[in-house]
C-alpha cells in the first residue's frame, strides 16, 4: 500500500482532471515567520584559535525571496548576544555564516541560534570543525538545523567513554516557555540506568556531558529517552579525541523525534569500503515491546535480505547489528527497519574517520540538501556524494542550484521502479555539468510515496575527513501541538504531510477519514499506533480539487487538519491500451512509469513495462512488453512526475 491514500483511491480521482478550476491566490502578511530553524550548538574558536568552528548554511527552498534574522543566544543563560539580518535571499540561493569570521562573537563562545524566515521556507545545515589547520588531527561533524521538535526525543547511542568515545547531548528548547527536561539513560545490556534533569529557557540550549555526570558509568554505551514539557530538538556530538590519540575521530547526529511510522529508512551502510564499516543501532521509540526486522540490499538494486532482531525489544531499549562481524560480503547497501516504531542510527567508522546519521520516515516528495560540494578547496577538498533512497517513490529528480547565484545548472533523473528501499548513489565528480571547487544546493523532487537522502561529506586531506547529514523536509505549517497539514495549499498531484497532536500515546488502530469534495468521504482503518508523544502523521497524495479535511481517531479522541488542492499544471492521458503495449501523452520531459493489472488483480511482471521513461518533446511516452495469456479485461496505469507533482491515468484492455 502506498503511504497515504491507497492506489485504489488514486485511481478513483482520475476523473477529477476534467473538473479544473482556477488556482486560488493568497496574499501573505509576514506578522509571523514563515519558518523558524533552530541550531542547538554554534561555536567560535571553542578550545583555542584552531578549536571548534561551526559554519552554517541557510537555503531558501521556496518560490519567493525571503528576509532572515539570526539570533545568537548565549549557552549560559539564553540571552541574545547578537542578531544578524539578511534581506532579499532569492529562491534557490543560500547564505553562509562563519562564526570564526564574526568579530561580534567572542572567541571561545558557545551559542544556540534561532533563524527566522519571513516570506519563504528555509532549511539549514551546520558543519562542525576542529583542527582545520592540522589535517592529520582535523575533526568533522555535521547536523541538520531543526525545523520542528517533540516532547519525546530518542538518542540511540550516547557513549560514556566506551571505546574512547564520549557523546555530548545538546538539547534546544523549541517552545515558547521554559522546558523541564528529563533524560532517561539505559545501558545497552539493560543493567545500568540513570535519570538526569535540565531546565532550558525558550530558544536556549543545555548540554549533558557524560564525562562529568557521576550517575553515568564510564565504559558504557547508553540509549537515551528525553521527555520534556516543551518541544525539543537535540544534537548528539560524539568524540574520540583525547590529546594522546594520534587519530582523533568524531561524528554527529540529530535526535529522533517520536514517530508513528512502522518503517524507518537509512539510505547508506557500508562494509569495508574505503576502510569504513557501519554499525546499525535500532531503538524502540514506541510504547510497547516490538521486534525489529532489518532489511537490506546493494546500492542500485532491490532489497533482497532480511534479518529478524530480538523478539521483544522494550520501549527505549536498543538492538545493534554490526556489519563488521557479519558474514555479509563487503560493499555498500541501503537498509530499512520494520516491525514497529523504531529509531535507526547508522554509525560508520574507519581507523581514522567516523560519521553518523539517523534514518527517516517522512514519505516526502520534496527533500532539500543545502550544502553539496565538488572538490571544494582543491582536488583533495570536500566532495559530497548523495545517496537517495526510495521509500515508496518510483523516481526522483535532482535539481542542482549553484550556491553563489541560485542558477539551476543541472537536472537529473533517478529511477527506482517499484523497489521500495532501493538507494542510488550520486557523486558530483561524475557529473560533467558540474564544476570543480564549487558549492551547490540540491532539491530532490520525488514521485508519490517519497524518498529520503543522506549526504556523505568527504575529503582526502587526512585525519577525520568524513561527516554526514540527512536530507531535510519542509517544516510543518504550525507549531508542535497544533494539528496541521504542510503545505497548507498545493497543486493536485502533490503530497501533503498532516500532523495530528493530542491523541492517546500508543492508542491503536488509527481510523482515518478524508473528506472529498462532491464525493463520499474516504475512510480507512490503519494498523498503526499513536506515537509516544501523542502525535500521528500521514502523507496524503491528493488529486481532487478544493478544501480537504483529514481526521484521525484513536482511543476515542479525534483530531482534524485541512489543506487546499489547487489546479494541476499537467495531466496524463492514455492514448493506446492493448495487450503488450500502452502509450500516453503528458507534459514534455515528465518522468513516467507504467504497470498493468490482470483480471485476477495480479500485476504483469515485466521489466520492460515498469521502466521509467521520459516523455518526448511533445509529451509522448510508450511501453511494449510480452503479450499476456488468459481472458478478460485488464487495466493499464501510467503515472507521470514533474516538479514534485504526480498524476495517474488508467485504461482497460482485453486479453488475450
The CATH number of the domain holding residue 614 is: 2.60.40.1220
pLDDT of 1 higher than 50:
no
Domain of 542, CATH number, reads: 2.60.40.1930
pLDDT of 49 higher than 90:
no
Q: Distance (Å, rounded) from C-alpha 374 to C-alpha 392?
A: 29
* Banded pLDDT at 427 (limits 50, 70, 90): very high
Confirm if 586 and 592 have CB atoms less than 8 A apart.
yes
pLDDT of 439 higher than 50:
yes
Q: Are strands 573-578 and 536-541 parallel, antiparallel or unpaired?
A: unpaired
Q: Distance (Å, rounded) from C-alpha 414 to C-alpha 429?
A: 17
* Banded pLDDT at 371 (limits 50, 70, 90): very high
Pair (581, 535) in one structural domain: no
Mean pLDDT of 262-289: 97
Pair (483, 536) in one structural domain: yes
- Set of cell numbers at residue 220: 558504557
Pair (553, 584) in one structural domain: no
Helix, strand and coil percent figures for the chain, each rounded to 5: 5, 55, 40
CA of 223: how far to CAs of 25, 329, 531, in Å?
A: 48, 29, 18
Choice between 12 and 516, residue whose per-residue pLDDT is larger: 516
Q: Distance (Å, rounded) from C-alpha 99 to C-alpha 417?
A: 44
Pair (513, 591) in one structural domain: no
Whether residue 625 is contained in a domain is answered as yes
Pair (558, 577) in one structural domain: no
* Banded pLDDT at 117 (limits 50, 70, 90): very high
DSSP class of residue 532? T
Q: Which residues contact 265 (CB under 8 A, 6 or more apart)?
A: 334, 335, 336, 344, 359, 360, 361, 389, 391, 421, 452
pLDDT tens by residue, 124-167: 999 998 888 888 888 889 999 998 899 999 999 999 999 999 99
**Which residue(s) pair with 495 in the sheet?**
541
Q: Are strands 122-130 and 109-118 parallel, antiparallel or unpaired?
A: unpaired
Last residue of a domain, one of 548, 566, 584: 566
Whether residue 579 is contained in a domain is answered as yes
CA angle at residue 239 from 236 to 241, to 5 degrees? 160
Burial (CB count <10 Å: 0-12, 13-18, 19+), residue 599: middle
CA of 305: how far to CAs of 308, 348, 417, 607, in Å?
A: 10, 20, 18, 21
Handedness of CA 323, 325, 327, 331 (dihedral sign): positive
Last residue of a domain, one of 531, 548, 566: 566
* Banded pLDDT at 244 (limits 50, 70, 90): confident
DSSP readout, 384-447?
--EEEEESS-SEEEEEEEETTT--EEEEEEEE--S-TT-EEEE-GGG-TTS-TTEEEEEEEEE-
Q: Distance (Å, rounded) from C-alpha 640 to C-alpha 548?
A: 23
- Predicted confidence at residue 31, as pLDDT, reads 61
Mean pLDDT of 168-197: 96
Confirm if 156 and 80 have CB atoms less than 8 A apart.
no
Confirm if 467 and 383 have CB atoms less than 8 A apart.
no
Q: Which residues contact 216 (CB under 8 A, 6 or more apart)?
A: 160, 185, 194, 210, 222
pLDDT tens by residue, 186-220: 999 999 999 999 999 998 999 999 999 999 999 99
Pair (550, 579) in one structural domain: no
Helix (H) or strand (E) holding 619: none
- Set of cell numbers at residue 631: 481472458
- Predicted confidence at residue 651, as pLDDT, reads 98
pLDDT of 396 higher than 80:
yes
Whether residue 620 is contained in a domain is answered as yes
Whether residue 495 is contained in a domain is answered as yes
Last residue of a domain, one of 517, 543, 566: 566
What does the mean pLDDT of the chain come to?
Answer: 91
pLDDT of 642 higher than 80:
yes
Whether residue 408 is contained in a domain is answered as no
Whether residue 463 is contained in a domain is answered as no
Pair (490, 560) in one structural domain: yes
- Predicted confidence at residue 55, as pLDDT, reads 93
* Banded pLDDT at 258 (limits 50, 70, 90): very high
> HEC states along 173-232?
ECCCCCEEEEEEEEECCCCCEEEEEEEECCCCEEEECHHHCCCCCCCEEEEEEEEEEEEE
Pair (540, 599) in one structural domain: no
- Set of cell numbers at residue 371: 550544502
* Banded pLDDT at 30 (limits 50, 70, 90): very low
Total domains in the chain come to: 2
Choice between 117 and 27, residue whose per-residue pLDDT is larger: 117
Pair (531, 591) in one structural domain: no
Whether residue 525 is contained in a domain is answered as yes
- Set of cell numbers at residue 108: 571561545
Nearest to 77 by CA among 204, 189, 239, 248: 204
Segments forming the whole domain that contains residue 615: 573-655
- Predicted confidence at residue 18, as pLDDT, reads 26
pLDDT tens by residue, 562-602: 999 999 999 999 999 999 999 999 999 999 999 999 999 99
Nearest to 355 by CA among 468, 454, 474: 468
**Which residue(s) pair with 582 in the sheet?**
577, 623
Confirm if 195 and 186 have CB atoms less than 8 A apart.
no
Pair (558, 603) in one structural domain: no
Q: Distance (Å, rounded) from C-alpha 423 to C-alpha 410?
A: 20
pLDDT tens by residue, 602-638: 999 888 988 999 999 999 999 999 999 999 999 999 9
Q: Of the ranges 68-82, 225-239, 379-393, which one carries the lowest mean pLDDT score?
A: 68-82
> Cell 511482471 maps to which residue?
605
- Predicted confidence at residue 7, as pLDDT, reads 30
* Banded pLDDT at 3 (limits 50, 70, 90): very low
Nearest to 347 by CA among 163, 171, 502, 490: 163
Whether residue 290 is contained in a domain is answered as no
Nearest to 500 by CA among 521, 542, 531: 531
pLDDT of 8 higher than 50:
no
- Predicted confidence at residue 161, as pLDDT, reads 95
3-state DSSP assignment of residue 81: strand
Confirm if 94 and 369 have CB atoms less than 8 A apart.
no
Pair (561, 577) in one structural domain: no
Amino acid at each position: 500500500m502506498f503511504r497515504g491514500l491507497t492506489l485504489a483511491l488514486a485511481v478513483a480521482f482520475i476523473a477529477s482532471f476534467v473538473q479544473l478550476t482556477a488556482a486560488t491566490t493568497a496574499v501573505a502578511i509576514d506578522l509571523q515567520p514563515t519558518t523558524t530553524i533552530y541550531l542547538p550548538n554554534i561555536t567560535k574558536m571553542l578550545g583555542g584559535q584552531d578549536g571548534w568552528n561551526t559554519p552554517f548554511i541557510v537555503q531558501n527552498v521556496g518560490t519567493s525571496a525571503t528576509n532572515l534574522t539570526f539570533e545568537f543566544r548565549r549557552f549560559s543563560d539564553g540571552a541574545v548576544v547578537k542578531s544578524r539580518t539578511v534581506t532579499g535571499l532569492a529562491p534557490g540561493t543560500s547564505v553562509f555564516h562563519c562564526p570564526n569570521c564574526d568579530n561580534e562573537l567572542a572567541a571561545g563562545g558557545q551559542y544556540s541560534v534561532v533563524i527566522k524566515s519571513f516570506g519563504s521556507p528555509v532549511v539549514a545545515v551546520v558543519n562542525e570543525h576542529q583542527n582545520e589547520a592540522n589535517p592529520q588531527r582535523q575533526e568533522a561533524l555535521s547536523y541538520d538545523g531543526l525545523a520542528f521538535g517533540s516532547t519525546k526525543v530518542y538518542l540511540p547511542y550516547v557513549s560514556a567513554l566506551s571505546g574512547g568515545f564520549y557523546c555530548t547531548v545538546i538539547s534546544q528548547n523549541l517552545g515558547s516557555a521554559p522546558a523541564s527536561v528529563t533524560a532517561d539513560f539505559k545501558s545497552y545490556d539493560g543493567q545500568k540506568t540513570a535519570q538526569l534533569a535540565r531546565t532550558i529557557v525558550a530558544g536556549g540550549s543545555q548540554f549533558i556531558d557524560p564525562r562529568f555526570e557521576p550517575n553515568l558509568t564510564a565504559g558504557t554505551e547508553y540509549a537515551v529517552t528525553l521527555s520534556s514539557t516543551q518541544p525539543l530538538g537535540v544534537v548528539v556530538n560524539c568524540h574520540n579525541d583525547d590529546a594522546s590519540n594520534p587519530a582523533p575521530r568524531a561524528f554527529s547526529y540529530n535526535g529522533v523525534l517520536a514517530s508513528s511510522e512502522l518503517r524507518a529508512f537509512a539510505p547508506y551502510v557500508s562494509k569495508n569500503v574505503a576502510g569504513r564499516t557501519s554499525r546499525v543501532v535500532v531503538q524502540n521509540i514506541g510504547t510497547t515491546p516490538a521486534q525489529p526486522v532489518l532489511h537490506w540490499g546493494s546500492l542500485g538494486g532491490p532489497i533482497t535480505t532480511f534479518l529478524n532482531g530480538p523478539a521483544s525489544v522494550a520501549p527505549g531499549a536498543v538492538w545493534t547489528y554490526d556489519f563488521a562481524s557479519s558474514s555479509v560480503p563487503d560493499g555498500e547497501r541501503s537498509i530499512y527497519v520494520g516491525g514497529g516504531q523504531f529509531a535507526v542510527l547508522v554509525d560508520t567508522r574507519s581507523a581514522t574517520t567516523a560519521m553518523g546519521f539517523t534514518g527517516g520516515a517522512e514519505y516526502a516528495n520534496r527533500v532539500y540538501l543545502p550544502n553539496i560540494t565538488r572538490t571544494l578547496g582543491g582536488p583533495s577538498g570536500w566532495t559530497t556524494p548523495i545517496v537517495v533512497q526510495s521509500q515508496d517513490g518510483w523516481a526522483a529528480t535532482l535539481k542542482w542550484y549553484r550556491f553563489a547565484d541560485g542558477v539551476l545548472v543541472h537536472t537529473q533523473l533517478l529511477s527506482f521502479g517499484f523497489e521500495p528501499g532501493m538507494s542510488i548513489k550520486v557523486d558530483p565528480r561524475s557529473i560533467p555539468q558540474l564544476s570543480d571547487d564549487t558549492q551547490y544546493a540540491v532539491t530532490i523532487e520525488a514521485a508519490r510515496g517519497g524518498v529520503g537522502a543522506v549526504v556523505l561529506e568527504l575529503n582526502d586531506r587526512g585525519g577525520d575527513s568524513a561527516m554526514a547529514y540527512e536530507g531535510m523536509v519542509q517544516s510543518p505549517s504550525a507549531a508542535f501541538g497544533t494539528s496541521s497539514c504542510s503545505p497548507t495549499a498545493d497543486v493536485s498531484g502533490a503530497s501533503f504531510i498532516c500532523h495530528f497532536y493530542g491523541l492517546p500515546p500508543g492508542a491503536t488502530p488509527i481510523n482515518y477519514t478524508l473528506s472529498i469534495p462532491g464525493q463520499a468521504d474516504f475512510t480507512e482503518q490503519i494498523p498503526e499506533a499513536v506515537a509516544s508523544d501523542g502525535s500521528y502523521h500521514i502523507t496524503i497524495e491528493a488529486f481532487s480539487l478544493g478544501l480537504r479535511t483529514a481526521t484521525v481517531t484513536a482511543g476515542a479522541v479525534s483530531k482534524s487538519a485541512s489543506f487546499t488542492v489547487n489546479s494541476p499544471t499537467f495531466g496524463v492521458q492514455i492514448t493506446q491500451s492493448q495487450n503488450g503495449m500502452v502509450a500516453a501523452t503528458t507534459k514534455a520531459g515528465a518522468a513516467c512509469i507504467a504497470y498493468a493489472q490482470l483480471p485476477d488483480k495480479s500485476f504483469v511482471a515485466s521489466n520492460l513495462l515498469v521502466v521509467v521513461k521520459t516523455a518526448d518533446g511533445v509529451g509522448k511516452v510508450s511501453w511494449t512488453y510480452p503479450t499476456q495469456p488468459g481472458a478478460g479485461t485488464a487495466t493499464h496505469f501510467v503515472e507521470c512526475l514533474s516538479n514534485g507533482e504526480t498524476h495517474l491515468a488508467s485504461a482497460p484492455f482485453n486479453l488475450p
